[in-house]
Amino acid sequence: MTIDYATAGDILDRFGRSWETFDGDLVVSLFTKNAEYEGDPFEPPLVGHNAIRKFWLDSAERQDQVEFTVERHWVSGDTILAACQMSYVERPSGDRVRIKAFMAFEMEDGLVARCREWWNARRAGVESAESTEAIDGR
C-alpha cells in the first residue's frame, strides 16, 4: 500500500503526540499487532503492542516536558522517512536532553509494521561527547 505525503504527516504527528503525552493507547494504535520497534541498531527490537506500550510507560518515568518536531519527511512507496528533533527534561537530574533523529516507518495496511530510529543525543549546554554517556534516550 502506498502512503501519501499528507497521511505520512498525520502518522508522524500522532507518533509525536503519543510521546509528548506518553499515551500508550495512541502509540499502539499506530502499529501492527506484531510490529518491530528498533530504537537501537545494536539491540534486538521491541516486538508487539505490549513491548511498545511498556517502553512508553518506562519513558514516562524518566522523561518530562517532551517536545517532538518533524523537520522534514518523505514517502517512498510504503515507507515513511523523517528527520526529527526531540527534547525532554530528564528525571531526576532536571537536565534538558536534545535529540536529532532519523526515523523509518515501514507500513502495512496503514499501520507501522517496523520502526527504525537512528539518533544522537546531547545534554543542553554541554558541548562535548561526554554529554551522551549517561543518556538512555529513545
Distance between CA atoms of residues 125 and 121, nearest Å: 12
- Digit-coded pLDDT (tens) for 67-112: 999 999 999 999 999 999 999 999 988 999 999 999 999 999 999 9
- Digit-coded pLDDT (tens) for 3-51: 999 999 999 999 999 999 999 999 999 999 999 999 988 999 999 999 9
Extended strands (E) in 1-138: 31-38, 46-47, 63-76, 79-90, 96-108, 111-123
Q: Helix or strand or coil: residue 2?
A: coil
**What mean pLDDT value characterizes the chain?**
91
Q: Grid coordinates standing for 61? A: 518515568
The one-letter code for the residue type at 52 is I
For domain 5-132, which architecture applies? Roll (3.10)
Q: pTM to 2 decimals? A: 0.88
Distance between CA atoms of residues 20 and 29, nearest Å: 16
- Digit-coded pLDDT (tens) for 110-124: 999 999 999 999 998
Distance between CA atoms of residues 9 and 6, nearest Å: 5
pLDDT of residue 124: 84
